[in-house]
Structure 1
Amino acid sequence: MGLTAIDLGLRGATSGVFLLIIFVALLRRAGSQQALLGMAMSAGGVFYAIATAPFFPKSSWWWVLPILSAQPVVFWLWARAAFDDDFVLRRWHGSLWLGIVASGFALTLGWAYSPALAGAGGRGLALVNLALALAAAVQTVKTWRADLVARRRRLRLAMLAINVGLIAVVAGAGFAAIPVVVPGAPGSLPTALVLFVVAMIAGLGTFAAQPVVPVNDATAAIASGGGRGADRASTARVAVDPRVAVDPILLRCLDHLMTVERSYRQEGLAIGALAARLGVPEHRLRQAINEGLGYRNFNAFLNRYRIEDARLALSDAAQREVPVLTIAMDAGFQSIGPFNRAFKAETGVTPTEFRREALSRPDRADIREPRREIG
């Protein structure tokens, strides 16, 4: 009875933390897709903690298991939204969730009539869950290097490792026919402990406060100010946090590298190589770009310069006959596909449409390259 009490206590604490996360998100009126998916994942965590607890009525397994089996979809979508700044929810994502829930109901209701077929279907569902867990892990690794948000970099691996591990255990149990998620199953204390740790990490990620320190005038001027920096701020819509202190000399040197030396044109430029050229640790450069200039992703930071470079070239009547691919490669893109997507996301039109509109304007002769260096 002592272990059961601990199990129930951990599940109660887990549910409380997840509910608090949902309550805070509602108070903040968070409407982003990451926040909505986070609330859905927290609600799923509460449901999972309750439904797999000791003494939960076993008669409810026919509707509980299908909903639990679809939770990896929510986690995968949350990982995409949390770690990919360009991710957009699509209707087929919801269809995937509904499809897994429907398949779960079909399997549970059909178990009494064809256990062998239902067992094969359960293994297939477990395979889908494993694939989603793997996709979430790949998303973490794929965007790790380009991530500029320090707190997100620290929390993502721990959060994903625990969640992916939990999903893998559940899916693996599906292959081995081990009832680890059967309502009221005994020996569920390890599951309760993992859920509690996940809830604590999620709570830290939600409630940890950002440092608030003053910024001096020089940093603010470079981050949002004159010359080319002003042009970039207006086109990139970068939100500069006035509370963060970043070395103004570092920002000025960075601006020189990007606007005068055009380092963004270097193929495969990584933040480590840029930090080496500036002679600063990589973490300091990440902080400067994120907290001083407002970028969350290094590729987005580079693409702002590259897109502006391409816009100038596409607006130049002297380069009318230069292929779009050549302009993209000269700006630093390695292929036409990413260039087209980034350009349309920034301008709302394709490069070809932008060129046609720009060259048809009577004031195109006034288009000239802005000043190359600040101050």
Structure 2
Amino acid sequence: MAPFFHALLPGLLWMDIALVGAIAGIFLIASMRTSKKDLRPLFGFFFLITTEIYLIYWLLHYIAPPELLSSSAVQLVFGAGILLLPYCFWMFSLSVFDDGFRPGRLHLAVLLGRFLLVAVTLPGRLPEHPFLFLESSGKSDDLLYLFPNILYSLALIFHSLLVAHRGQRDDLVELRLDLRRIFVLLIGLLIAWIIASLFILRPLQADLPVSLINATMTLLLSLAFLWLAIRLHPDILPLELKEKVGYRPDPALKERLLEALEKDHIYRQEGLTIGELARTLSVQEYRLRRLINGEMGFRNFNDLLNRYRIQEACELLDRPDLPIIRIATDIGYPSPGPFNRVFRTLTGQTPTEYRQRKKE
């Protein structure tokens, strides 16, 4: 039975490589067809390419002569790709689940920190079979050197999980909301599997079963990823692969919503959620989400609230007798800090600068 499983594993890896490569090609085309501001297809492409590098190196481990894997060029190319895999996964997750995401110095620092960590902990000790982001051969010595890098990878995965979970309450894109829930479940299972395989199964020398399960999981996740990417068009993969499901207007509900916002100023309520607003309007939450997203064009509930809050703030700032801290709390912000950040994002200036320019 063992020879059969040894023969099965390369076959699974060939299928993984072909499938991931095809998806990467679709994302590359998408990145060339979208605006430069939309970085989701590009980050998706890099995530898939680093996944492809990992899969190819894994396959070479089983079919290639040891001399090939030990060459400096192979170690450099494949080692860099494997080390970048968790980082690319993290960046892609942020670009998909955080509408306000923009790469900055923090993200560059995290990338540089990855290579610094490797330089300190793994000089000349890269294992010959990196499982997922880095794999141990099961030896305690390897695990000791790999542990900081495993923690780094798990930290990025946990943060991706947190971002996906945190945005569930305010996300107005229904299909992406479904993806958030699926993502939380899958990543939770993935984390549990990483911990179990690294610290329980591999020390028990269960390398072949673990590798077979890893290859099968990669194949199934790749298929799921492709299906979701197509289904979630154009929110993740902006290609014209299928017609967007049309939104059916609801004039009566829109009128009630606008009345609640413009006449009742319900947005002033601190911590208002879309669920609470739906209960106030006596409507199902999913219908309210469709209205705000499909007809008013908002992808996030907080974007809607901020638009109305800052609009009123601009009017109140014309009154010099009102302190800025009072304006912030009156329109629904818990403190001046969040108010200042949102105001600057939407207007390009701080509330103080806005008030001073109005005086001139």
Range into which the TM-score falls when normalised by the shorter chain:
0.7 to 0.9
Give the conservation status (yes or no) of the 8 Å contact 1:271–1:282.
yes
2:354 is equivalent to residue 354 of structure 1? yes
- Sort the Cα spacing of 1:67 and 1:212 in 2 relative to 1 into closer, same or farther, 3 A: closer
Measure, in 2, the Cα distance between the counterparts of 1:109 and 1:116: 17
Task: Give 1:272's aligned residue.
Answer: 275
Task: Give 2:265's aligned residue.
Answer: 262
2:345 is equivalent to residue 322 of structure 1? no
Q: CA deviation at 1:9?
A: 4.3
2:63 is equivalent to residue 55 of structure 1? yes
Measure, in 2, the Cα distance between the counterparts of 1:24 and 1:11: 20
Give the conservation status (yes or no) of the 8 Å contact 2:47–2:88.
yes
TM-score (norm 2): 0.79
Return the letter of the residue paired with 2:144. Answer: A
Task: Give 1:370's aligned residue.
Answer: none
Q: CA deviation at 1:173?
A: 5.0
Task: Give 2:299's aligned residue.
Answer: 296
TM-score (norm 1): 0.76
2:36 is equivalent to residue 33 of structure 1? no
Task: Give 2:20's aligned residue.
Answer: 15
Task: Give 1:338's aligned residue.
Answer: 338
Q: CA deviation at 1:82?
A: 1.2
Task: Give 2:165's aligned residue.
Answer: 141
Return the letter of the residue paired with 1:143. Answer: G
Q: CA deviation at 1:163?
A: 4.5
2:117 is equivalent to residue 103 of structure 1? yes
Q: Deviations over 1:210-255 (max 9, x none)?
A: 5343xxxxxxxxxxxxxxxxxxxxxxxxxxxxxx322011111100
- Greater Cα offset, 142-151 or 1-10: 1-10
Give the conservation status (yes or no) of the 8 Å contact 2:31–2:42.
no
- Greater Cα offset, 132-141 or 202-211: 202-211
Give the conservation status (yes or no) of the 8 Å contact 2:310–2:343.
yes
Return the letter of the residue paired with 1:155. Answer: L
- Greater Cα offset, 275-284 or 67-76: 67-76
Q: Which residue of the other structure, out of 182, 195, 199, is the alignment partner of 2:218?
A: 195
Q: Deviations over 1:249-300 (max 9, x none)?
A: 1111100000001110112111111111111100000000001100000011
Measure, in 1, the Cα distance between the counterparts of 2:259 and 2:355: 28
Alignment partner of 2:310: what SS? helix
Unmatched 5+ residue regions in structure 1? 214-243, 362-375
Using the aligned pairs only, state the percent identity. 31
Q: CA deviation at 1:303?
A: 0.7
- Sort the Cα spacing of 1:4 and 1:173 in 2 relative to 1 into closer, same or farther, 3 A: closer
> What does 1:79-118 align with in structure 2 at a 5 Å threshold?
79-104=93-118, 107-111=121-125
